[in-house]
Chain A
């Protein structure tokens, strides 16, 4: 088990080097000169040249990448090309926090609606309710953010005036509701289907019949034997759903004008603010890898059967 964790953790820096290198290459050979971007279109060639020197853009590609990595290791993410005089770190960090709050709220919606729906459909397997709810969950999956957001804005913000059209006033405010709803609904489908499949499987197991036969109360059977086992696979999808949340954040934050990393990413790609893009790609990639590792570990903790095989995989 330890060997497995160590191997996975050792893979992380390798992955980050590859990911950062690819992003750096795209930025280096991509269009637009950051110096020109910073100075605007009317800048003289001499001024552009001076800024290029200041930013270190006149150096060789590998020297630039090397110095980036060296700074990064020391915790210096560089300065933004566009927001002058602001370091990437102070630009990005508060936004990470906002996006994390939004993502958490969205995940609550996916989980809070998806798991009960999955359990209901599993108990009512084969009935009209099952078919209807499963189809309904597919409908949720089929409403990506850019479809549901204008709908909600049109009805609840423009027509009814319940919620603000855009903006961000913190976690405990009405401005959170629509964005979280929009980001959370596509995830309901996956959660419902997985919970259903796993609950259907558990309900047909012998140990459930045994539990009932030995006279346990129905509540105990459901809570200790069905629910606990049925929810195990659901844990895995939580790690995977992080990817969906990050993708949802790009569009949701742009539509609702929320100052998080999703909107920052889109803005900085368009303004060719490469230091910010680099930082965001690395942050998100790290989060993906760590989330998946956490899920694997949690899974091993919840299901002792996989612990052994994971240990075996680790080469013990």
Chain B
């Protein structure tokens, strides 16, 4: 009887301790969030990102006109009450096109980072660091090959060579399922660009996570978990991942700006999202011709300012996160 009581006491105490430590761990993240909100850099970054991407998500409701709507009586006009940021060469509203371009950028950036950097990068980094041995060597060598490629050149090459195949594939998908308009909406473009960017963004994250995991693997708490019989999966995703996360968050946040910029570069080169779907890159390209700069400089300012602000906001936020999550590097 006494034994049973004692056991239940111990059990309840352990449960208490566990819930306390849970609260404490939640407390750490909450604390980081709180610290973050006390930094002007972070506030500025978050506000700009929310405003720009929020505008992009709400584009169909927010934009004064459709991205392809033409007003042929108002071609290449400067800012006015009817068109706040003016119109382009075929009378399309620059403000509306900028807002819709942000949606394009958001979709590509979010999809590439979520799959390439986070899903593939984190998983391969965890596997590489925790399992080690030949698996580790293989993954890291593949990563080195990717790093040896001139990044942008490979992305351009991938996008240029993959595109016709993906286009065929999307067409046959349309035929098979009877869904219309996929090609017209530029689904193939999205797939190509997102694939090319994702293929590239995993290496840095994988290396970072691997380094973290190798350090963590030698700590007592991981050994304890292993001794208690936790599965490899559980050790990797429940114990190693949360502890390896802070630097990853910083790097990924900073990388968001770079990926957003890469989308712009690709469509600037003409291999990204194809017209008529608007993109910041193609807007910049249209506006940067010397004769256009001379006569209609209002065309290039909106996309340039928006891209610059966006990348700056991501970098500021990443910097603030670095201060909060990796205080030792200060």
- Please report A residues at the B interface, Cβ cutoff 8 Å: 15, 18-19, 22-23, 26-27, 29-31, 134-135, 138-139, 141-144, 146-147, 149-151, 153-154, 157-158, 165, 189, 197, 200, 243, 246-247, 250-251, 254-255, 265-266, 269-270, 277, 280-281, 284-285, 288-289
Contact = CB atoms under 8 A, between A and B. Distances in A.
Given A150-B304, A289-B148, 15 more contacts: A26-B157, A30-B161, A138-B312, A142-B308, A142-B311, A146-B268, A147-B304, A147-B307, A154-B293, A157-B290, A197-B329, A254-B269, A270-B160, A277-B157, A280-B153
Given A146-B268, A147-B307, A141 B148 contact: no
B329 A15 contact: no
B319 interface: yes
B134 interface: no
Contacts of A144: 261, 264-265, 307, 311
Contacts of A22: 145, 149
**Interface size classification for chain B:** 35 or more
Contact of B297 (A149, A154, A289): A154
Contact of B153 (A158, A270, A281): A281
Contact of A142 (B145, B257, B288): B257
Interface in B255-292: 257, 261, 264-265, 268-270, 281, 284, 287-288, 290
B151 A243 contact: yes
B82 to A, nearest CB: 26
B41 interface: yes
The 7 closest A-B pairs by CB, nearest first: A30-B161, A142-B312, A142-B311, A284-B150, A31-B164, A150-B288, A247-B152
A154 B298 CA distance: 11
A27 B268 CA distance: 22
B272 to A, nearest CB: 12
A158 B293 contact: yes
Nearest to A242: B150
A141 B316 CA distance: 10
User: Majority SS of interface residues in chain A?
Assistant: helix
A200 B328 CA distance: 12
B300 A150 contact: yes
Contacts of B145: 15, 18-19, 22
12 contacts: A15-B148, A22-B145, A27-B161, A138-B316, A141-B315, A146-B264, A146-B268, A147-B284, A151-B304, A153-B290, A277-B157, A280-B153
B160 A269 contact: yes
Nearest to A27: B161
B219 to A, nearest CB: 22
Contacts of B281: 146
Interface string B291-306: 0011001001000100
User: Majority SS of interface residues in chain B?
Assistant: helix
Contacts of B284: 146-147, 150
B160 to A, nearest CB: 5
Contacts of A134: 319
Given A150-B288, A269-B156, A139 B312 contact: yes
A280 B157 CA distance: 12
A138 B147 contact: no
Nearest to A283: B150
A22 B300 CA distance: 37
A267 to B, nearest CB: 11
Interface in B131-163: 144-145, 147-154, 156-158, 160-161, 163
Contacts of B178: none
Contacts of B242: none
B322 to A, nearest CB: 10
Contacts of B153: 246, 250, 265, 269, 280-281, 284
Nearest to B330: A200
Contacts of B329: 197
Contacts of A157: 290
Nearest to A150: B288
Contacts of A135: 41, 316
Contacts of B152: 246-247, 250
B319 A138 contact: yes
A200 B329 CA distance: 10
Nearest to B269: A266
Nearest to A16: B148
A31 B315 contact: no
Contact of A251 (B268, B293, B304, B312): B268
A165 B290 contact: yes
Contacts of A18: 145
A121 B154 CA distance: 37
Contacts of A246: 150, 152-153
A269 B157 CA distance: 7
Nearest to B300: A150
Contacts of B149: 19, 22, 281, 285
Contacts of A142: 257, 308, 311-312, 315
Contact of B148 (A150, A158, A285): A285
Given A18-B145, A135-B41, A154-B293, A281 B150 contact: yes
B268 A288 contact: no
Nearest to A266: B269
A30 B154 CA distance: 13
A4 to B, nearest CB: 15
A309 to B, nearest CB: 15
A266 B156 contact: yes
B157 A255 contact: no
Contacts of A270: 160, 270
Contacts of B165: 31
Given A135-B316, A142-B312, A147-B307, A243 B150 contact: yes
B287 A150 contact: yes
Contacts of A285: 148-150
Nearest to A30: B161
